[in-house]
Amino acid sequence: MTFLKVFTSFVLLTFAYISSGASPSAYAQQIDLTMTPPTLEVLIKPDTQLSIPYTITNRADNIGLRPMIKIFSIVKQGESVEYGSVEKLPIKFSFADENSESINAFMVNKGGAKKIFLQVDVLENAPEGDYHLSFLVETQPEFLDKQFSSRIKSQIASPLLITVTKTGKTQVRGAISIFKIGGNLFDSFDPIPVTLLVKNKGKNVVNVGGGLTARGSFGESAVYPLQNQNILAGAEKLMTTQLAKDDSTLTLKGFFVGRYGVSASVMLADGTVQLNKSSSFFAFPFKIVAVAVLGSFVGIMVLRKRR
């Protein structure tokens, strides 16, 4: 019985060895790609052609890639990105190499780089406005040798914003949709949340910056710069500062006494348009007063008992 177990184990091990030797070794392909420029904004008139150079650098295994242009949109409050077809756009795209030869796919060796050109053709009847696109390169497993075990496709993308305008100018329109302080009356030690939302009412993406200023009843003041952000046409965005917390633009902390004013100065498109709004709040040391009153009351009661 023991001999039968040993013989069976020997046969199984021999079969496993032969099976492993009969097939070539396989390993997962490493992918490490970078693309420049990482993001791009283009201002262009209708009935115009443009060539945009991109460089793809490969720092891992030899790889085959296919270039693509897709419409992109941000969904689920910035949690994910959706891509769509550009076939119905009034803008046509094609790809070429450094010799102006049309390409649909290409190889990049390990440690090498490949420059390709995105040819953009804006039709004469293209409506003015922003076109939110993404230039992608997708790995092509069919280009690889059979030694690679991985056949999963992956992508890297570079956002591309094309603004079509007949005059060469963009429409800058915006509004402060929400500017509020998280209350009217606070204890002196409470954090003070300030919320600022800006809406882009124009047809083009706009860069938004500026600052918030807090002023006290004794003449003290402090300025909190807003972090510059791009807001897409028709979109609304929460502005932030370095003291932003949760869903607030700014959280003031310290010891506050009296009336305080907070004003927002929002700059659109490098200061060409300015939006202003202000609000105020009151702060008093309620907790300290309450503790002092309670302490005084306890002290009086103790003194009375001693008498």
Residues 45 and 86 in one domain: yes
10 assigned to some structural domain: no
Residue 163: strand pairing partners: 43, 130
136 assigned to some structural domain: yes
- The DSSP-derived string for 69-86 is EEEEEEETTTTEEEEE--
State the total domains in the chain.
2
Mean pLDDT of 218-239: 91
304 assigned to some structural domain: no
Residues 65 and 123 in one domain: yes
Write down the pLDDT at residue 13. 41
Residues 155 and 61 in one domain: yes
Per-residue pLDDT of 255-285, as tens digits, reads 999 999 999 999 998 778 899 999 999 999 9
Per-residue pLDDT of 200-223, as tens digits, reads 998 888 999 999 999 998 888 999
Mean pLDDT of 101-112: 91
Residues 160 and 31 in one domain: yes
Entry pTM: 0.67
Write down the pLDDT at residue 104. 92
What's the pLDDT band for 29 if we cut at 50, 70, 90? low
299 assigned to some structural domain: no
Per-residue pLDDT of 161-170, as tens digits, reads 999 999 888 8
Residues 64 and 193 in one domain: no
Element (H, E) at 12: helix 2-22
Residues 65 and 100 in one domain: yes
Q: Which domain holds residue 217?
A: 174-285
Residues 157 and 38 in one domain: yes
Residues 119 and 220 in one domain: no
Compute the distance between CA of residue 49 and CA of residue 175 in angstroms, rounded to an integer: 34
More confident residue, 231 or 8: 231
Please check the confidence at residue 12 and state whether its pLDDT lies above 60. no
- The DSSP-derived string for 122-159 is E-TTPPSEEEEEEEEEEE-GGGS-TTB------EEEEE
User: Which range, of 214-228, 238-252, 293-307, averages the lowest pLDDT?
Assistant: 293-307
70 assigned to some structural domain: yes
Residues 39 and 71 in one domain: yes
Residues 143 and 31 in one domain: yes
Write down the pLDDT at residue 238. 95
- Percent of the chain past pLDDT 70, that is, above it, reads 84
CATH number at residue 107: 2.60.40.10
Compute the distance between CA of residue 122 and CA of residue 253 in angstroms, rounded to an integer: 52
Q: How far apart are the first and last CA of the chain?
A: 103
